[in-house]
Amino acid sequence: MNSETPLEMVLAVIALIAVAAVCVVLVWNHVRVRRLSKQVERLRSERQLLVDRVDQLKTQVDEQSGDAAGRHEVALVINPVKNRADEVRKQVLAAARDMGMGEVLVLETTEEDPGTQMAADAKAAGVRVVIAAGGDGTVRTVAEQLVGTDVRLGIVPMGTGNLLARNLDLPITDFGACIAAALNGTTKTIDTLDVRLEGEDGERHRHTAVVIGGVGLDAEVMGDTRDDLKARAGWIAYGEAGLRHLPGDRQDATITMDGGSPRRYKVRSVLVANCGTLQGGLELLPDAKPDDGLLDVMVLSPRHVLDWARIAANTLVGHRVKIPVMETLQGTRVQVRFDKPIVSQLDGDSTGEVVGIDARLVADSLTVMLPR
User: Residues 203, 139: one domain?
Assistant: no
Q: Is residue 127, in this structure, part of any structural domain at all? A: yes
Range of the structural domain that residue 211 is part of: 192-365
Which spans in the chain are helix H? 6-70, 85-98, 116-124, 136-146, 163-167, 175-184, 217-224, 227-233, 236-245, 305-316
Contact 166, 356 (CB under 8 A): no
What is the per-residue burial (b if ≥16 Cβ within 10 Å, else e) of 288-324? bbbebebbbbbbbbbeeeebbebbeebbeeebeeeee
Query: Is the sign of the CA dihedral 363, 368, 371, 372 positive or negative?
Result: positive
Selected residue with higher pLDDT from 69 and 134? 134
pLDDT at 343: 94
pLDDT at 277: 92
Contact 328, 287 (CB under 8 A): yes
Cα–Cα dist 179/95, whole Å: 8
User: Residues 250, 357: one domain?
Assistant: yes
- Averaged pLDDT for residues 16-34: 66
Please choose, from the candidates 38, 174, 349, the residue with its C-alpha nearest in 3D space to the C-alpha of residue 30.
Answer: 38
User: pLDDT tens digits, residue range 224-246?
Assistant: 555 665 555 555 555 555 556 56
For 42, 46, 223, the CA distances from 54, given in Å and listed in that order, are 18, 12, 63
User: Residues 277, 169: one domain?
Assistant: no
pLDDT at 238: 53
Contact 310, 323 (CB under 8 A): yes
Domain CATH code at residue 139: 3.40.50.10330
Cα–Cα dist 93/87, whole Å: 10
Domain CATH code at residue 339: 2.60.200.40
> Does residue 124 register a pLDDT over 50?
yes
User: pLDDT tens digits, residue range 321-347?
Assistant: 788 899 999 999 999 999 999 999 999
User: pLDDT tens digits, residue range 62-100?
Assistant: 444 444 445 799 999 999 999 899 999 999 999 999 999
Phi first, then psi, for residue 318 (nearest 5°) are 85, 30
Contact 354, 341 (CB under 8 A): yes
User: pLDDT tens digits, residue range 290-325?
Assistant: 999 999 999 999 988 888 888 888 888 777 778 889
The residue from 166, 184, 202 where one domain ends is 184
Amino acid at 166: R
Q: Is residue 154, in this structure, part of any structural domain at all? A: yes
User: Residues 214, 342: one domain?
Assistant: yes
Contact 108, 89 (CB under 8 A): no
Cα–Cα dist 110/77, whole Å: 11
